[in-house]
Structure 1
Amino acid sequence: MPRYVAFLGSINVGGNRLSMADLRAAFEAEDLERVETVVASGNVLFDFPQRPTPGLEEKLGLMMRDRFEMEGAVCVRDRAEVAAAISDNPFAGVGEDKLVHTHFLERPADADQFAVLVADHAGRGPEKVALGDRALFIDYVDGVGDSRLTGKFLERRLGCRGTARNIRSLARILAKMDEA
């Protein structure tokens, strides 16, 4: 059975506190198998019969709203998509792993919207941005905390929500996906 990871936005930040035990129980109640959380920030591994990941995003998004009244981004990726989130990131291996992120998006970004994002961010900071498949690749260069390239900034320009993970976290998640 395929292994997936759900990247949940806004978990255990900004007042959206949720115990990982409650989160695992909710996933198990949805008939997902081998549910495991990785780091207490909204990374949930699970097995489920082969299915396109956008359908799983919809299912889990409804579950998060119904059970926890949370409206954050829900981005589901299979093992190959997580590997691509690392290998396709043009900043991976160039910038620091903790500063290089893949910002998963709920849908593909439109090239014109991406161009607006780049133009609007010009001169606002040293970050580097590249467009991926249902993702943005970002090198935060000087750190995420003081960056003006925030999730809200991205969401307004792209018209969709997302959630980011750094290369170090993605490598850890990918290794967990490969465990038997």
Structure 2
Amino acid sequence: MTRYAAFLRGVNVGGVTLKMSAVAKALEDAGFGDVTTVLASGNVLLTSAAGAAGVRTKAEKALRDEFGYEAWVLVYDVDTLADISAGYPFEREVDGHHSYITFVSDDDVLRELAALEAGPGEVIAAGEGVLYWQVPRASTLDSAIGKTMGKKRYKSSTTTRNLRTIDKLLRR
């Protein structure tokens, strides 16, 4: 059995409100083991014998069936997640800034995002299947990445998490 982190896109922001206890139950009912939710923003740790792609497909179906919304889930085994966190190329904690990782399941989308011109105080860098991003606190939604991520085209293949959230998941 492999331990995975599953990131639900757009949960408890933008109109999709789910109780994490109900999410955990839906995933347990779908056959996942050791299901734990972290924070209320769609971060789930679970175990499965399936590969990451199989976990993604099964989790999306379970959430769509249970809650009736267009669920998108990005899934990483915890060792890969640890490598992603360790690869953060910028100073991890910068006063007045947020440090983010955008998980991207589509290589073309990753190339598009990595090619964006960073705004004032913003830095971006592509990693393996992720976009590392740091932005001034008051500028997140107005930044190059923030404006782009809101477009429908990116919903099924991206989700962003604060670096602190990733590290919290890794400590569990």
Question: Which TM-score tier does this pair reach, normalised by the shorter chain?
Answer: 0.7 to 0.9
User: What is aligned with 1:43?
Assistant: 43
Question: What does 1:11-160 correspond to in 2, within 5 Å?
Answer: 11-49=11-49, 51-93=50-92, 95=94, 99-109=98-108, 112-114=111-113, 117-118=115-116, 121-122=117-118, 124-143=119-138, 145-150=140-145, 153-154=148-149
TM-score if structure 2 supplies the norm length?
Answer: 0.84
Give the counterpart of 1:172 among 161, 168, 171. Answer: 168
Distance in 2 (CA, whole Å) between partners of 1:158 and 1:6 is: 21
TM superposition shift of 1:169:
0.9
The structure-2 alpha-carbon separation of the partners of 1:91 and 1:53, relative to structure 1 and needing over 3 Å to count, comes to same
TM-score if structure 1 supplies the norm length?
Answer: 0.81
Q: Secondary structure at the match of 2:143?
A: coil
The structure-2 alpha-carbon separation of the partners of 1:66 and 1:52, relative to structure 1 and needing over 3 Å to count, comes to same
Structure 1: gaps (5+ residues): none
Size of the alignment, in residue pairs?
Answer: 171
Segment drifting more, 2-11 vs 63-72 = 63-72
Structure 2: gaps (5+ residues): none
Letter in 1 for 2:158: G
The structure-2 alpha-carbon separation of the partners of 1:161 and 1:149, relative to structure 1 and needing over 3 Å to count, comes to farther
Distance in 1 (CA, whole Å) between partners of 2:44 and 2:110 is: 30
Structure number having the greater strand percentage: 2
TM superposition shift of 1:100:
0.7
The structure-2 alpha-carbon separation of the partners of 1:103 and 1:141, relative to structure 1 and needing over 3 Å to count, comes to same
Letter in 2 for 1:106: S
Distance in 1 (CA, whole Å) between partners of 2:98 and 2:47 is: 30
Identity of aligned residues (%): 29
User: What is aligned with 2:8?
Assistant: 8
Aligned Cα RMSD in Å? 2.7
Contact 1:155 1:162 in 2 (8 A): no
Contact 2:3 2:46 in 1 (8 A): yes
